[in-house]
Amino acid sequence: MRIYYLNSCIYPRRHPGLSVSRRRMRCHAICSPCADGHYMTFWNQCEQCQYCSTYCTSRYEVVENECSPTQKRTCVCKRGYYKTGDLCRPHTKCPPGSGVSRNGTSTRDVKCGKCRKGSYSDVYDSVSRCQPHTNCTAYNMVVGHPGNGTFDVTCSSNVIEVEPISDRKAKRLQKRKLREEKRNQRKMKRKDRKERRGRKRSKLASN
């Protein structure tokens, strides 16, 4: 046990999770466990444990580590959200023709990448990667309609000559979904502003 001297008395440094409950001159201090809702993370000579004042107040946050005698409560963004500043924001959704190239975490946003030749993505989300085009030969079939970045190939049992699928429909779908995402982002910003105002009002009321 590490000790140091103060006012001609010997006081050992308290183990994390303990605080000094009583001091006696010319003797060692007596340590007590931290009460519920309090913690101490370091060797100390404090007479009181620290209060677990952190609360996961946002509806997009969850408790990562609960308060205990040796650690404070910590919060993280729930699945599908990441921390930026003091707010949890939803992971970016990759549009059709693009897929997730780097998964998102509670502290990092998703990274999207355009589907390479021979792969496609026809969904609009933050978790799906580009998928390879179906290999028609493996099913003893031929390509009926060639695929592109947003659609899979169509296999056929008959050899036919067809023109490649036009990208007009895919582009219209992509533009429509991008407009929908922008609307959702505006709604999220309005909710964030309302949440921040609510937290400010709560702080002013508590003071």
Task: Classify each residue of 161-183 as buried b or exposed e, where b means 16 or more C-beta atoms within 10 Å of its C-beta.
Answer: eeeebeeeebeebbeeeeeeeee
Mean pLDDT of the 133-141 span: 91
pLDDT averaged over every residue in the chain? 80
Mean pLDDT of the 164-178 span: 71
pLDDT digits 0-9 by tens, 69-86 = 888 888 999 999 999 988
Q: Map out the domains of the chain as residue ranges.
A: 3-51, 91-181
Question: In the CATH hierarchy, which top-level class contains the domain 3-51?
Answer: mainly beta
3-51 and 91-181 have identical folds: yes
Q: For residue 182, what is the enclosing H or E element? A: helix 168-206
CATH entry 2.60.120.370 includes domain 91-181: no
Residue 16's pLDDT band (cuts 50, 70, 90): low
Predicted pLDDT of residue 11: 42
